[in-house]
Structures are given as C-alpha cells and as structure tokens.
C-alpha cells in the first residue's frame, strides 16, 4: 500500500457519496444510503469534519470528527470510523484518528470521546494504542421515529 493521504472533504459529489456509501456498508448494514444533498449538509456543517483517507487515489477510509461547545468547554467526538476491508491493518485508522485528535486539539477541545463495541477487538486495540482509555460510563440511546 502506498502512503496514506488524509484530507478534509470539501465538496459533495455523486462520486464521493458513492464511495462513502460503499465504505459505510462495511460499518452498518442498516444505515440509509448517503445522498449528495446529505453529504453536502455534512460537509457544510460547522460542527462536523469529514476526514478521508486515500491511497493510490482510492478512498480507503473515513472518520467524522464532531466538535461542539457546551457550558463546560469545547467537546469533541469521533464517529463513523470505517476502513475498507482491503486496507485494514495498514495504519489507515490510526492516521485518521491521529488527524482527528490534532484537529480537536486545535479547536480547543480538552478531550476526545468515541464509542466502540467490545466485539470490535482490533478497533479497541487501535484506540488504546492511540492513547484513548476506556471510561466507566454507559451509553444510552433513545430511538426517534423516522417519518
């Protein structure tokens, strides 16, 4: 694998939406396909940064960094980390994660949070190698009806 290039998505195109949909299907079988309009909304969001990892001009990974202000300071979260099956184990996720951490630091965040299912053993090892530590916390979710 050639060098990994990390960039921020700046423009929503049908090609990028198609490439992202192929990656997201490897993360979630139930996620709705990303439309060009939804991709544009994500890219234009003040709170989201969509990172792209490429090798040999091919999209092989993505990560979304969310930064937001609350009364106690700037918070940052990493979401939807996915690396193409063909590129796993080659440092792509670590490069994406390190880039996201640096962007969060520049935004003034004191910490970066992420969640990862215990069954994702390789991902959990990666996050720990990147300096993340497990927290004694529960994640709660309330599904909202979609009309």
Residue 3 pLDDT = 94
- Structure token pair of residue 6: 């990390």
What DSSP state is assigned to residue 86?
G
Q: Are 7 and 41 in contact (CB under 8 A)?
A: no
Residue 67, in any domain of the structure: yes
99 within domain boundaries = yes
DSSP for residue 32: P
Kindly state whether residue 137 falls inside one of the protein's structural domains.
no
**pLDDT at residue 147 tops 80:** no
**Helices of type H across the chain:** 14-27, 36-44, 92-107, 121-129
How far is it, in rounded angstroms, from Cα 13 to Cα 9?
Answer: 10
What's CA 129's distance to the chain center, in Å? 17
Residue 8, domain member (yes or no): yes
CATH of the domain at 28: 3.40.630.30
Q: Is residue 136 part of a domain?
A: no
pLDDT score for 145: 78
Q: Is residue 147 part of a domain?
A: no
pLDDT given at position 69: 96
* pLDDT tens string 17-27: 999 999 999 98
SS3 label, residue 30 = coil
Higher pLDDT, 147 or 108: 108
Question: Percent of the chain scored above 70 by pLDDT?
Answer: 98
Range of the domain at 18: 4-130
Q: How many domains does the chain have?
A: 1
Q: How far apart are CA 62 and CA 84, in angstroms?
A: 9
Q: What is the pLDDT of residues 50-103, one digit of tens each?
A: 999 999 999 999 999 999 999 999 999 999 999 999 999 999 999 999 999 999
Average pLDDT taken over every residue of the chain: 94
Assigned domain for 140 exists: no
Do the domain assignments include residue 142?
Answer: no
In contact, 97 and 127? CB cutoff 8 Å: yes
Task: Give the pLDDT score at 55.
Answer: 96
- pLDDT class for 1, splitting at 50, 70, 90? low
């Amino acid at each position: 694998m050639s060098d990994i290039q990390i960039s921020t998505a700046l423009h929503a195109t049908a090609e990028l939406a198609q490439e992202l949909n192929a990656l997201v299907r490897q993360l979630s079988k139930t996620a709705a396909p990303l439309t060009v309009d939804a991709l544009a909304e994500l890219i234009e969001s003040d709170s989201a940064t969509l990172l792209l990892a490429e090798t040999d001009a091919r999209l092989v990974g993505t990560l979304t960094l969310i930064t937001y202000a609350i009364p106690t300071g700037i918070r940052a979260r990493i979401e939807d980390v996915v690396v193409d099956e063909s590129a796993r184990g080659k440092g792509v996720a670590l490069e994406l994660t390190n880039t996201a951490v640096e962007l969060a630091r520049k935004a003034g965040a004191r910490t970066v949070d992420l969640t990862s299912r215990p069954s994702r053993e390789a991902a959990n090892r990666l996050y720990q190698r990147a300096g993340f530590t497990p927290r004694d916390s529960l994640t709660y979710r309330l599904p909202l009806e979609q009309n």
